[in-house]
Amino acid sequence: MDDPEAYGEVEVRFLQPYQATKTYLCPNCNRDIPPGTGHYAVVPKEAPDLRRHWHRGCWDGRTTRRAPTRGRR
């Protein structure tokens, strides 16, 4: 789910470090979000079963990143 907003309006909740009790996988960078790390839970309102947990930086920077270009250096 690279673009959860494609499903319509999303609810973004910040989870405080003390609320983060499990390891989650960030869908943007495919890295773990370890327990005790503050992060966002992003929930499409029309598809709440597609809730994903994102690093703060990954979510905040998602609209400014460009797709990688292949073959260019």
Specify whether the CB–CB gap between 7 and 47 falls below 8 A. Answer: yes
Residues in CB range of 63: below 8 A, 6 or more apart: none
pTM for this entry: 0.79
Count of CB atoms situated within 10 Å of the CB of 29: 12
3-23 residue pLDDT tens: 777 778 999 999 999 999 999
CB-based contacts of 70, cutoff 8 Å, min separation 6: none
pLDDT over 90 at 70, yes or no: no
- Residue 65 in this model has a pLDDT that exceeds 90: no
Domain range annotation of the chain: 4-60
pLDDT of residue 8: 82
Q: Residue 57 pLDDT more than 70?
A: yes
- In eight-state DSSP terms, residue 22 is S
Q: Identify the residue whose tokens are 């960078």.
A: 29
